[in-house]
């Protein structure tokens, strides 16, 4: 399952699930559901996380975070409804069974409950409106939200019919086509660099490095400084004593998040920095609780690397000691 675009919203999760400065220590206990999910027809499964915040308790927050009974709802009903009247019930499963173990940290690692439905069962189509409804016994009203399924992305630049040039000291442009609807979009651009390590023992190991080329909201192109590519290789790789590395191809992927995610990122950007407000507002498109329910899509192109770029990787100031052939 491709979860790279979740990295964009993970920077927001801190203030989505953290304790609010306005919470009163002695206030009555309040049920605060936390929901975040991105519908992506390109994935094998749609996955949504539903948890509960904990405040005003006599137990330590760190203790509660390790208790699955305290962070998960036992009786939640999670339903997706489409504008055409279809109703889809998401099943609660352990995310580890989907290849998504929870990272080690303050929260209980097992079980790692999420709600999921196969994309083939959901059968969402481009621009289809999907409405979320969550019912839990602890809340008198359902949690609701909606999002539209995004169209796929068509990467246009760099041109895929010629080798890719990444010239040190220069830059290159990544441009893509997407839907023309007048809605905000959040875009993330990644580059995957494929190569093979040949160890001194003769063993061959195929590897790939994922490099963040940048992000934007609304715009459908970014300008990439080529030196960032070489700096990333130098930072992520060490010399390989007695071995060599064979250069492979490159894949550039553009990932898009829906209008809701774009609004959340713009709100965070507007409230950080020297001229920002003291408090960062909490964005949510849920009727109650906190979190984001949005959509995601992507598009990618594979590229051969031209001879000049291969020479720069092999002999360059930053990467010349990494053993590339």
Residue 134 pLDDT: 95
| Distance of alpha carbon 168 from alpha carbon 223, whole angstroms | 14
Dihedral sign, Cα of residue 104, residue 107, residue 113, residue 115: negative
In DSSP terms, which residues pair with 257 in a beta bridge?
186, 296
Band of pLDDT at residue 183, cut at 50, 70 and 90: low
CATH 2.60.40 in the chain: give the residue spans: 154-257+299-315
Whether 315 shows a pLDDT value over 70: the answer reads yes
What percent of the chain shows pLDDT beyond 70?
Answer: 76
CATH topology of domain 154-257+299-315: Immunoglobulin-like (2.60.40)
Dihedral sign, Cα of residue 83, residue 40, residue 174, residue 183: positive
Band of pLDDT at residue 117, cut at 50, 70 and 90: very high
Of the ranges 72-81, 100-109, 232-241, which one carries the lowest mean pLDDT score?
100-109
In this structure, how many other beta carbons lie within 10 angstroms of the beta carbon of residue 158? Answer: 20
Band of pLDDT at residue 258, cut at 50, 70 and 90: confident
- The more confident residue out of 89 and 75 is 89
Do 257 and 3 contact (CB within 8 A), yes or no?
no
Band of pLDDT at residue 293, cut at 50, 70 and 90: very high
| b/e per residue 77-108 (b: at least 16 CB within 10 A) | ebebbbeeeeebebebbebeeeebebeeeebb
Mean pLDDT of the chain: 82
Q: What residues contact residue 142 under an 8 Å CB cut-off, 6+ apart?
A: 133, 134, 135, 287
Residue 32 pLDDT: 84
Residue 184 pLDDT: 63
Of the ranges 159-168, 283-292, 309-318, which one carries the lowest mean pLDDT score?
283-292
pLDDT in tens, 35-59: 989 899 888 899 999 988 765 556 6
Do 325 and 185 contact (CB within 8 A), yes or no?
no
Whether 243 shows a pLDDT value over 90: the answer reads yes
Do 151 and 128 contact (CB within 8 A), yes or no?
no
Residue 57 pLDDT: 55
pLDDT in tens, 1-39: 344 343 333 333 433 333 343 434 344 556 789 898 989
What percent of the chain shows pLDDT beyond 90?
Answer: 52
- The more confident residue out of 52 and 237 is 237
Of 129-133, 186-190, 284-288, which one has max mean pLDDT?
A: 129-133
Of the ranges 58-67, 237-246, 248-257, which one carries the lowest mean pLDDT score?
58-67
């Amino acid at each position: 399952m491709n979860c790279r675009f979740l990295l964009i919203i993970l920077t927001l999760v801190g203030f989505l699930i953290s304790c609010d400065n306005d919470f009163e220590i002695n206030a009555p206990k309040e049920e605060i559901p936390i929901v975040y999910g991105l519908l992506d027809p390109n994935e094998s499964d749609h996955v949504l996380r539903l948890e509960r915040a904990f405040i005003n308790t006599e137990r330590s927050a760190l203790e509660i975070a390790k208790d699955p009974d305290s962070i998960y709802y036992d009786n939640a009903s999670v339903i997706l409804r489409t504008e055409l009247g279809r109703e889809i019930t998401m099943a609660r499963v352990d995310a580890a069974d989907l290849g998504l173990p929870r990272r080690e940290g303050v929260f209980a690692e097992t079980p790692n409950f999420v709600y999921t439905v196969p994309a083939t069962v959901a059968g969402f189509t481009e621009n289809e409106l999907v409405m979320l409804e969550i019912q839990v016994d602890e809340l008198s009203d359902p949690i609701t939200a909606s999002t539209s399924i995004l169209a796929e992305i068509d990467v246009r630049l760099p041109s895929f019919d010629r080798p890719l040039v990444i010239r040190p000291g220069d830059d290159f442009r990544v441009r893509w086509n997407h839907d023309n609807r007048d809605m905000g979009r959040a875009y993330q651009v990644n580059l995957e660099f494929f190569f093979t390590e040949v160890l001194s023992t003769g063993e061959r190991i195929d590897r790939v490095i994922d490099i963040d080329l940048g992000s934007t909201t609304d715009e459908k192109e970014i300008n990439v400084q080529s030196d960032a590519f070489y700096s990333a290789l130098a930072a992520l790789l060490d010399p390989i004593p007695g071995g060599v590395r064979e250069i492979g191809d490159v894949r550039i992927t553009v990932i898009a998040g829906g209008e809701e995610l774009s609004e959340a990122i713009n709100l965070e950007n507007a409230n950080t920095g020297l001229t920002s407000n003291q408090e960062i507002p909490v964005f949510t498109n849920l009727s109650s609780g906190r979190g984001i329910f949005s959509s995601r899509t992507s598009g990618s192109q594979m590229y051969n690397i031209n001879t000049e770029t291969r020479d720069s990787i092999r002999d360059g100031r930053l990467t010349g000691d990494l053993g590339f052939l």
